[in-house]
Amino acid sequence: MVEAYCVKCKKKVEMQKGKETTTKRGTLMMKGKCPDCGITVCRIMGKKK
């Protein structure tokens, strides 16, 4: 799984139910849930090739 930073827990967590999405500018991003508190966490992956 992908690691992301949870701002509520203030630590890096392994994302649950991660889904790859694209931002308006075409950058890849993973969105999922924090396993501890359940809020949405995101990780910017890079430019789409």
For the chain, give the percent of residues with pLDDT over 90.
Answer: 84
- For the chain, how big is the Rg over CA atoms in Å? 11
Domain range for residue 7?
3-47
What pLDDT does 47 receive?
82
Q: Which residues, 6+ apart, have CB-to-CB distance to 38 below 8 Å?
A: none
For the chain, give the percent of residues with pLDDT over 70.
Answer: 96
In the predicted model, what is the mean pLDDT of the chain?
91
CA–CA separation, 39 vs 7, rounded Å? 9
Total domain count, the chain:
1
**32 pLDDT more than 80:** yes
> Token pair for residue 46?
């890079």
Read off the pLDDT of each residue in 25-48 and give the average, rounded to a whole number: 91
